[in-house]
Amino acid sequence: MKIGAVFPSTDIGADVAAIRDFAQTAEGLGYSHLLLPDHVLGAVHEAREPPLTGPYTEKTEFHEPLTTFAYLAAITTRIEFSTGILILPQRQTALVAKQAAQVALLSGDRFRMGVGVGWNWVEYEALNETWEDRGRRQEEQIELLKLLWTKPVLDYRGKWHRIDRAGLAPLPKKPIPIWLGGYVEAAWRRAARLGDGFIFPGVKMTEAQAIMDKIRGWVAENGRDPAAFGFEGAVMTHAPQAKWSEHLESWRRLGATHVVVRAMTREGFSLETPQDHIRMLETWWRTAQGG
């Protein structure tokens, strides 16, 4: 089981040295990968119809994942990178394909792309993409991404995309893994049909087992090998320290292939500085992982 860390995008600030130190500390300790969440825009929640119910506002800082990974790839040698998750339907598919291919190239194939549909309709509107059909468009996007990463020239016509005898250059050396995340059954079924794995956005351990069993069943129903399908769970540093090892082992028993350690700000729990986050990386690894 690979053990990574969530890059604390909302808490790390804009000090490039702190961003560098966090990534290099994680790599030096032995973490396998960094998972970076995504939002392009934050939005004021008040007086919205329909309401915005997500946890982030116009005051929440987010580092753009793909450009951040391009920088981190240059200052690390081993650690892998994953979006967790990239809100795919609010982006142009061919541009995402190009950017992701470049990250894979610059990192030496250390990149995995987690995608989802998001919750912030204001963000979709600002990026000139439609909100209502985001799930169906994402399915076509995933199909197109796989083609763009493997075929030098593509003649493609879908419901939402048209590529007329064009392609990416340079291509990634191998297809980039696509994992999906989400809270609802539609996302779980979509992962089973189209994805290489599923990223849990934060669920109780008692719920995870049932969801994993369902997804494995749907993977098999789609003629795919459940043993080749990955699952990524999360452990929270604001849980009691005595529980850290237990939570990690619980995911291992469930058959997770990846786990991330999350220390981003939560209600009632806050690490105030980037250095606090770096110290937490070290504390968690030595306490729960024995590194």
Q: What does pLDDT average to in each consecutive run of 10 residues of the chain (291 residues)?
A: 96 96 98 97 96 93 97 98 98 98 98 97 97 97 98 98 98 96 96 98 84 98 97 92 92 96 70 90 87 51
Total domain count, the chain: 1
- pLDDT value, residue 205: 79
DSSP letter for each residue of 167-208: --SSPPSSPPPEEEE-SSHHHHHHHHHH-SEEE--S--HHHH
List all residues 6 or more positions away from 14 whose beta carbon is below 8 Å from its beta carbon: 61
Measure the CA–CA gap between 109 and 101, rounded to whole angstroms: 9
Query: Residue 23 belongs to what domain range?
Result: 2-289
Q: Which two tokens stand for residue 43?
A: 């939005």
- pLDDT value, residue 85: 96
What's the CATH code of the domain at 162? 3.20.20.30
| Residues 197/257, Cβ–Cβ less than 8 Å | yes
| Residues 175/196, Cβ–Cβ less than 8 Å | no
- pLDDT value, residue 269: 56
Give residue 168's region: left, alpha or beta (phi > 0; psi -120 to 50): beta
